[in-house]
Amino acid sequence: MKNNENANQRLDHCGFIFRLLFGAAAISVFTLISVATASADNSSHRPIAFTESGLVIGSTTDRGNEFLGIPYAAPPVGALRWTPPKPYGFFPGFVLQATQFGSACTQAGAGSENCLFLNVFTPHVKSDDGWSDRDRRRLPVMFWIHGGGLINGSSTPYNPELLVKKDVIVVTINYRLGFLGFFAQSAIDAEGHLNGNYGLMDQQFALAWVRRNIASFGGDPDKVTIFGESAGGQSVYAQLASPLAAGMFRGAISESGSYVEFQDYFADIVPLAVGETTGTTAVPSGAAIADSVGCTSQTASCLRAVPASTMVAAEPFPLYPFVDGTLLTQTMGAAFASGEFNQVPVISGTNHDEYRLFVALDYDLLGNPILTSGQYDTAVATLWGPALAPLVLTLYPFASYPTGGQALGASGTDGVFSCAARVADQSLEKFVPTYTYEFNDENAPPAQSAFGGLLTFPLGAYHSSELQYLFPGIDVFGLPTTLSSQQRRLSRAMVSYWTQFAKTGDPNSPGEPLWSPYSASTDEFQSLIPPVPVVESNFASSHQCSTFWDLF
């Protein structure tokens, strides 16, 4: 009898859901009629898609179709702060006008806790009926995770038109940042839910949303490739290592995500208990953070009442995920070395002069360029600490470089990014096809002259400089940038590699130079250099990997 009652309740629930969906469909008809009537150009129609939350109405631009600001989870505010993401529910009136980006997540000077939005970009309709060809094909999906040290950034600046024109769908997302997204504290962690890595949970929740809904936009839920840069690239590595992300994607691209997690001389990705009580040299413990924002009682209720801006003010740069035991059961480096990761094809790479960006931000652009050997010694000690600094000064002497900025940039690039990426690649290639690259455009915009004399050295192929080759018009230092004809040719090659990989799991196509999978025996990388990529065989020697950094 009880089973029958439960069955009837389920049927009643299903009937209720059906009535809601029927209502949404009816509303959509009237909405579409209104849109068509109001349109100044009745030869075209606004794109639509049905989702689990209701009807989404986007817009058509020269770049393709855009569905902006779609909430994929309930706002993580109030009692939902520091809990796993929850379903959003239904749109008011079951219809969403998806024509504006949603708020960025809380960060210094911007954002909101109500920020779990995603955007879907699709190619122009190509069928004769004027509405959709989604019933005739399913397009591969590229799922973009933005960077920003896990404390800033959003999906808004990334214009994926070059990718979309290659017949893929691109989804860009926001995820919780800073201490609101990555926080280990004993009272909160005792509540019985997933802990610590709330931003990574958001990414997985958005991936699950894509699997359930992307077919309505013309996408193939079984052909999802995750890609990201910097902290987004590190997030890609984390999702590769996460047992909870199994089956959510079939390919992964990490751009400059190989910092901290693949070197023994850094130890900033720590177990949750360490994050709660001890912290690291880079990030205070959860207990210390609670004290700093006025919650000496260490209660969850006190912490949830702290203004978001107060939490932001206490954040260092960057933050890191935790080994929480469930979402991450081990570090990314350990997972890759053991083969205990989501085994899908991978593109992994870095930029030739990654660390020069941070030298510029921390020294030159603050009015403190590294001009003397004494200043250089101090900068090296600050970056590498007392144990490594003397060795670094011997291998990267001030006198061997045109400027102090370039000298510090060299050790930072090699020790933080490049050699760590090679360690990851050598682990990955034992288990999955791994395509490795180095972005090598030493003249990537903006030019040194654009800074009005504030920079004492050229930026070269700096951290994040490859983004403008994939996402045109992206803001770089707030300065206008223009690619030369040779740089545009490189851009076309990169877009082809990235999108072909999303389509097939292999970046190669007849129109671009062959990119062979990485092998530790040959140690060859694809050098992304204008105008046409070439094979690079001196990566390890030029970055002092085998002779120095791999020894620690």
pLDDT tens sequence across 359-414: 999 999 999 999 999 999 999 999 999 999 999 999 999 999 999 999 999 999 99
- Nearest in space to 543 (alpha carbons), one of 352, 376, 266: 352
Please give the average per-residue pLDDT across 500-518, as a whole number: 97
How high is the pLDDT of residue 101? Answer: 98
> What's CA 15's distance to the chain center, in Å?
40
**Confidence at 95, pLDDT banded by 50, 70, 90:** very high
Strands (E), 116-257: 117-122, 139-145, 169-173, 182-183, 196-197, 219-229, 251-255
Instruction: Count Cα atoms within 13 angstroms, Cβ side, for 200.
Output: 29
Mean pLDDT of 5-31: 40
Outline where 436-538 has alpha helix (H): 467-470, 485-504
Q: How far is it, in rounded angstroms, from Cα 32 to Cα 440?
A: 49
| Widest CA span in the chain | 86
- Position 479 scores a pLDDT of 85
Q: Residue 126's pLDDT band (boundaries 50, 70, 90)? A: low
- Phi first, then psi: what are they for 276, rounded to 5°? -70, -40
Cα distance between residue 320 and residue 454, in whole Å: 31
Let me know: does 75 contact 114? Beta carbons within 8 Å.
yes
Q: How confident is the model at residue 28 (pLDDT cuts 50, 70, 90)?
A: very low
| The pLDDT of residue 480 | 77
Distance CA 48, CA 28 (A): 9
Q: How far apart are CA 116 and CA 105, in angstroms?
A: 7
Mean of pLDDT values over 440-453: 94
With 50 as the cut, is the pLDDT of residue 351 above it? yes
Q: Would you place residue 475 in the very low, low, confident or very high pLDDT band (cuts 50, 70, 90)?
A: confident
C-alpha distances (whole Å) from 547 to each of 53, 428, 541, 542 are: 56, 22, 8, 10
The amino acid at residue 11 is L
Residues linked to residue 439 through DSSP beta bridges, in sequence order: 351, 528
Say if residue 129's pLDDT is above 90. Answer: no
- Across 224-236, average pLDDT: 98
Mean of per-residue pLDDT scores for the chain: 91
**Cα–Cα separations (whole angstroms), residue 411 to 141, 372, 379:** 37, 17, 11
Give the residue with greater pLDDT, 147 vs 266.
147
Please compute the mean of the pLDDT values over residues 339-346 and round it to a whole number. Answer: 98
- Give me the residues paired with residue 527 across strands: 438, 534
Q: How many CB atoms lie within 10 A of CB 401?
A: 17
Q: Where are the alpha helices (DSSP H) in 68-218?
A: 161-164, 178-181, 186-189, 198-213
- DSSP conformational letter for 418: I
φ, ψ of residue 148 in degrees (nearest 5): 130, 25
Q: What is the DSSP letter of 463?
A: T
pTM: predicted TM-score of the whole model, two decimal places: 0.91
Range in 24-33, 150-159, 242-251, 338-347 with the lowest mean pLDDT: 24-33
**Residue % of the chain over a pLDDT of 90:** 87
CA 379 distance to own-chain centroid: 29
pLDDT at residue 260, rounded to an integer: 85
Cβ contact 352:460 at 8 Å:
yes
The rounded distance, in Å, linking the Cα atoms of 71 and 20 is 19
Q: Which residues pair with 169 in a beta bridge?
A: 141
Average pLDDT, stretch 61-67? 94
Q: What 3-state DSSP class applies to 347?
A: strand
Report how far apart, in Å, the C-alpha atoms of 138 and of each of 122, 288, 443, 535 are: 11, 50, 38, 34
Sheet holding 117-122, edge to edge: 59-61, 64-71, 117-122, 169-173, 139-145, 219-229, 251-255, 346-351, 434-439, 525-528, 534-536
Give the number of other CB atoms < 10 A from CB of residue 7: 10
Contact by Cβ (8 Å): 287, 276: yes
Mean per-residue pLDDT, 20-46: 43
**Band of the pLDDT at 496, cuts 50, 70, 90?**
very high
Q: Is the pLDDT of residue 424 over 70?
A: yes
Instruction: Look at residue 38 and tell me whether its pLDDT is greater than 60.
Output: no
- The CA distance from 238 to 424, in Å, is 12
Q: Which residue has the higher pLDDT, 351 or 124?
A: 351
Q: Are 518 and 423 in contact (CB under 8 A)?
A: no
In angstroms, rounded to a whole number, what is the distance separating the alpha carbons of residues 326 and 280? 21
Angle, CA of 363, 366 and 370, to the nearest 5°:
30
Tell me what pLDDT residue 328 has.
Answer: 98
Q: Is the dihedral of CA 55, 61, 65, 66 positive or negative?
A: negative
Enumerate the active-site residues: 230, 354
Report the C-alpha gap between 349 and 463 in whole angstroms: 11
| Per-residue pLDDT at 481 | 85
Residue-level pLDDT at 478? 83
